[in-house]
Structures are given as C-alpha cells and as structure tokens.
Amino acid sequence: MTRPLAVIVGAGVAGLAAAWWLDRAGWRSLVVERAPELRENGYMLGLSGLGFETARRMGLVERLEAASFRIDENVYRDSSGRELLRLRYRDFIRDLPYVAIRRTDLVRTLAENLPDSAEIRFGETVAGFEDKGDRVEVALAGGERVEAALLIGADGFRSATRQVLFGPDRDCLQPLGYYFSVYDVDAPKAFTTDFVSYAEPGHLAEYYALHDGRLAAMHVWRDRRPGLERAPDKLALLREVSARSHRQVRDLLDHAERAGETPVVDSLTMIDLPNWSKGRVLLLGDAAHCLTLVSGQGAGMALASAEMLERALTETGDLLPALARHEARLRPIIGRLQTRSRKMARVFIPQTAFAFRMRNFIMRHMPRSLLSRYFSGAIRSEIELAKQ
C-alpha cells in the first residue's frame, strides 16, 4: 500500500521532527523550506523536559550532546560591571537531563536524521492550497501541484499557513511587551566566562561563547512600539536600546556593525488559537502556539508535539479524529506553559529601577531548592501529562 503523503511547510524544529515521526506512523513527507539552505548562525536554546525525552526516543541525544555547549553558570552584571547575580540552569531543573545547543545545530541534526520517506525542498514554499475533503491540493510556488492527505504548517511564529487557514493574525497574537534580537559577533576575547549577561532596568544583553571563538548575542528589552521587526536599521535600534548599557555591550554592537552582521529583531508574542487544525490542515510548533523564549520550552514542544501526532495517528488510524486527539492531549500542556510565560513575563526584565533591584535581591536570596522545586516540578508534571 502506498504511504499517505504530508506536505510540511518549514524545515525548522517542528517540520523536521514531524517528518521523522510521520515516517513512524507509515507516512511520507515533502518538506518545503523557503530558505535556500539550512542557516549557519542561530541563537542558543536549552532542551529539557518533554522535548529532551522526544529527542531521546529519536536516538538523537548523543549527536545533540556532541554539538552542545557546556553552560554551567550565568553571571549577571549591571551597567557598571558590578556582579548582580549568578544563576545556574541546574538550580532550576535540578537533575533533569538537559542540553544547551544552537537552534541551527538542532535543526541540522534533525535534517541529517531524516528518514528515506521524507524529502526536503529548499527555496520552495506553498503558494496556495485547497482542502477537497478527501485530500488537500497544494500549489507550490515553483509551479508544481501536489495532492496530499495532510498539509502541516510548521512555518514558525509568523506562519503564513496560519493566516491563510484562520484569517489575519490580530486575534491570536498575545504580545508580552518585549522585543528580542539575536546575532553573532566575532569577539573571541571579550569574556573569560561562557555565559555573561548585562542587565539594567528594561533591558538584558546576553553573550554565549561559541566553539569557534565567536559569541552568540541576544538582547531582550521592554518595548510596546509596534512593528520594530521591520525597522530598516536594526543595529541603530539596538544602539538606542543599549544607550545606557555597559560599555562592553556597545562595543560589541560596533564589532557587529563592522562585520556587517544583520541582527534578527522580533517581538515576544505568544500565539493563542482556539483550534490548531481545520480539515486536513494542521499547525505545529510556533505556528500553532508560540510560547516565546520566556518559557524556554518552544523547541522542546515542537519536538514533543510531532511525537504526539504520531501517537494519535497510530492509535486512531483516521486522520481527522487523530488530529482532534492530538490537540486534546497537547492543549493542557501548552496552556500551562503559556500561563507560566505570562506570569514570568511580568518579572522577566523589570522596567523600573526599584522593581529591578527588588527582583535581583529576591533572586539572590531565594533558596535554590525553592526555585528547583518550582521549575523541575512543573517540567516533570508536563512529562506526566503527555503520557495520558
């Protein structure tokens, strides 16, 4: 019997994981990625909890660990360089397994591990689709028409598939009141520790040392101005945001400018939709339920939701009931993570000097056992929820 075909929009974490798990369910996939190739640069992310468990079941942990970074401790400094805080990720997750890896290395590992039943087409996208009830007719931008049993929109936070399926985005966007920016910078001798943050009220700049001596830089700042992701000069925007930051932050922006880096800027906005599928079209990953970096679980949930899709397909056999079952299982977990993101966003980067000092004081003096009980307890209960 021929395997049913899924067209997957986006060769990111969700799309590639979906192709792997669909193979397990007896499907084949065509993954279309609009970028001409896999990106080289990319921000750092932490994989733990449900996502780590899925990666383990995909047999990827050894490869992910080989590409991972050892980040034991994060030193926070203020704009004068004074140490504010030292946080270890282990304080939050205790003995739960964890890898720190660049998004690009995670995506590359997934791409290298694709089954024979999946094909990736770079420089390609979906120009249109029509759900015919028993199939979806998908028109590719390159001109080809494909008949598929399922179309998956795994095209990230700004998903075009979502907008075609459910209309303009305004109702599902939940801005958390921040923007972020990520870029690489070539300044190998800038720091003696692996992970440094410079923080002041309303703004945080973080630097991770990469294997090649470069730094992965990330800024997060409070800002409610709309449309900054379209600012024509991103470095000028970052200079404005960092005007009161430590000198090192401003120097590194100069380095980035001399090297011709083009920072990515986007808002920290969650996606909250009443449904993740309609007929034979399903949204996965950030396209369906962007959690933002505040939760630290978006990539993990992109992996885990692909596995949950396979489980629902295998259990029910029929597509539409399987999509309903997939959503029913995933929704309580995503709901918990989004509630946590909303709560954490309030204290993530305090806006006023007073709130900033209070937050740092509390973080410095809070018993580490309390922190870990909260975070590792939450991650463990999400692992349990997924088993139901």
Which residue ranges make up the site for ligand FAD (CB under 6 A)? 9-15, 32-35, 43, 45-47, 51, 103, 125, 154-156, 160, 180, 182, 218, 285-287, 293, 296-300, 302
Closest distance to ligand FAD from the beta carbon of 26 (Å): 23
User: 15 vs 201, which CB is nearer to ligand FAD?
Assistant: 15
Q: Tell me the closest approach of the beta carbon of residue 86 to ligand FAD, in angstroms.
A: 19
Give the burial string for 110-126 (b: 16+ CB within 10 Å, else e): bbeebeebbebbeebbb
Q: Which is nearer to ligand FAD, 108 or 355 (CB)?
A: 108
Q: How far is the CB of 205 from ligand FAD (least distance, A)?
A: 12
Token pair of 28, please? 């084949």
Q: Can you point out the beta strands (E) in the chain? A: 5-9, 28-33, 44-48, 74-77, 83-87, 98-102, 118-122, 126-131, 136-140, 145-148, 150-153, 173-185, 195-200, 203-209, 215-222, 264-271, 277-278, 281-283
- Minimum Å gap between C-beta 341 and ligand FAD is 11
- Residue nearer to ligand FAD on the CB measure, 15 or 83: 15
Lookup: tokens for 145: 């028409």
State in angstroms the smallest separation of the CB of 358 from ligand FAD. 25
- C-beta separation of 129 from 164 below 8 A: yes
Q: How far is CA 269 from CA 58, 264, 282, in A?
A: 30, 15, 21
Which residue number, 146 or 355, has a Cβ lying nearer to ligand FAD? 146
With CA atoms as reference, report the closest residue to 18 among 2, 32, 29.
Answer: 29
Judged by beta carbon, residue 187 or residue 301, the one nearer ligand FAD is 301
Structural contact between residues 200 and 79, judged by C-beta atoms closer than 8 angstroms: yes
Task: Using the minimum distance from each CB to ligand FAD, give the nearer residue, 46 or 263.
Answer: 46
Contact of 195 with 211, CB cutoff 8 Å: no
Distance, in Å, from the CA atom of 367 to the CA atom of 153, rounded to the nearest integer, reads: 43
Rounded distance between C-alpha atoms, residue 35 and residue 10, angstroms: 9
By beta-carbon proximity to ligand FAD, the closer residue of 35 and 347 is 35
12/201 with CB nearer ligand FAD: 12
- Smallest distance from ligand FAD to CB 229, Å: 12
Residue 370 structure tokens:
């309390």
* Comparison of 161 and 248: residue with beta carbon closer to ligand FAD: 161
CB of 319 to ligand FAD, least distance (A): 21
According to DSSP H, which parts of 230-388 are helical?
234-241, 247-258, 286-289, 298-316, 319-348, 353-365, 368-387
Show Cβ contacts of residue 266 under 8 Å, excluding neighbours closer than 6 positions. Answer: 157, 158, 179, 180, 229
Least separation in angstroms between CB 45 and ligand FAD: 3
Minimum distance from residue 105 beta carbon to ligand FAD (Å): 12
Q: Which residue has the tokens 């509390």?
A: 362
